Amino acid sequence: MLNKGMNDLFPTKLYLGKMPNQDLQALVINEVLTNDELLNTSSLDNYGTLFKQDNLVLEQFRTEIVIPAIDKYLQDSIGKGLTDFPGYKLGSWVTGRGNNYTMIRHNHQGSYLSSVFYLLAETQDLGGEIVFHDPRSNANRGYTQEFDSWFNNVPHAPATGEYVVFPSFLYHYVNTYRGSNRIAIVVDLFLYHND
């Protein structure tokens, strides 16, 4: 139903937050840097297996930071939380490491929500921005340049301790990062339904 006055049609909600526990964040960074197995949890490997490791630090991170962030997004956007669904699973992996890291335009097909937790992103002037695309395919057709701002991509230069949560259909890419000290954990949410 439309309301009188200005209406937002087809909104795409993106949540930018700050991790609440810096000590836990430091423990996770240490785990990632000292455990080669954690660096090999690819997004192509069964939707990411980072949280399938038998690791108390990662379990604490999942429980205290990841789940509350995802639950807050769901509550604020649809008025339901994770407990309102019959079940869920999380795909998770480490990404963003190394000089000249980049990621082509993509989305996370099959999952409901995607999120990136920036454990370490100290240098913000060396590229590495995550850039989000307008999800309304071909919406700008026929518009003149005066309306370009309606369709601009939205870049964000992440900082240490930040995270973003967004619908998995939202296309995004990462500009080339010309530094070496960046560690991020990507988490995809898959929800189960009663059929």
Is 141 contained in some domain?
Answer: no
Angstrom distance (rounded) from CA 39 to CA 117: 15
Residue with token string 């939205």: 154
CA count, 13 A, side-chain hemisphere, 32: 26
**With bands split at pLDDT 50, 70 and 90, how would you rate the model's confidence at 40?**
low
Q: What is the pTM of this model?
A: 0.90
Q: How many domains does the chain have?
A: 1
pLDDT, one tens digit per residue, over 55-109 is 899 999 999 999 999 999 999 999 999 999 999 999 999 887 767 788 888 999 8
Is 119 contained in some domain?
Answer: yes
Angstrom distance (rounded) from CA 178 to CA 123: 9
What CATH number is given to the structural domain containing 131? 2.60.120.620
pLDDT, one tens digit per residue, over 110-144 is 999 999 999 998 777 788 899 998 888 888 888 99
Angstrom distance (rounded) from CA 98 to CA 178: 8
pLDDT, one tens digit per residue, over 148-187 is 888 888 999 999 999 999 999 999 999 988 877 788 999 9
Burial 166-181 (b: 16+ CB within 10 A, else e): bbbebebbbbebebee
Question: Which among 190, 153, 191, 185 is positioned nearest to 51, based on CA atoms?
Answer: 185
Is 45 contained in some domain?
Answer: yes
Is 21 contained in some domain?
Answer: yes
Is 146 contained in some domain?
Answer: no
Query: What range does the domain containing 100 cover?
Result: 15-136+152-192
